[in-house]
Amino acid sequence: MNLYYVLYKPYGYLSKFTDEGKHKGLLHLINVPKEVYPVGRLDVDSEGLLILTNDNFLKHRLTTPQFRHKRVYAVQVDGQATQVHINLLKQGVQISVEGKAYKTLPPHSVRILEDVHFPERIPPVRFRKNIPTSWIELVLTEGKNRQVRRMTAAVGIPTLRLIRTAIENISITNFAEGELRAMSKSEIYTQLNLSVS
């Protein structure tokens, strides 16, 4: 039987069950059947939505680059994000992927976020009195390694905190950090805009 879960992964956890070095795996956080695995990745220093399943078709659809799907990120950046930064990001930016220059696809959307209510991160993001921080929302349809961080750094506003808030219409709004929710196949496929066979 196929199983589906949505997790709000906190900062400091790997997107796999086993530990690696000083970093904890998801085994310390959740308990799911052993055939269920995370789809895709969120770096240890990133937070937010992670889908877990044993549905191989869904894994293939979500991890194969040709099947583009929207990933929504709330990004706290170093400095005050301006319309100039937003316009640069909208065009797609030059980053390095595996040592090679790569021009990112133009994002689905980018905007400055004015009113942000996320729980404080533990440990907190560094604070410098003379340098403001601000938040942007970036919606991508591709997922290169550390792409969001590379993109914001390329336009001069390095990422301090990164939270994936949604994939297509699946959102962690109203989730607590570390919360795991089971979903049915029809729920998850509908919210991912996939047809349920």
Q: d(Cα 188, Cα 82) in Å, to the nearest integer?
A: 35
Q: In this structure, what token pair is assigned to residue 45?
A: 């220093």
Buried b (16+ CB within 10 A) or exposed e, 98-135: eeeebebeebeebbeeeeeeeeebeeeeeeeeeeebbb
Residue 113's nearest CA partner among 145, 150, 72 is 72
The answer to whether 23 and 12 are in contact (CB under 8 A) is yes
Residues marked active site are found at: 43
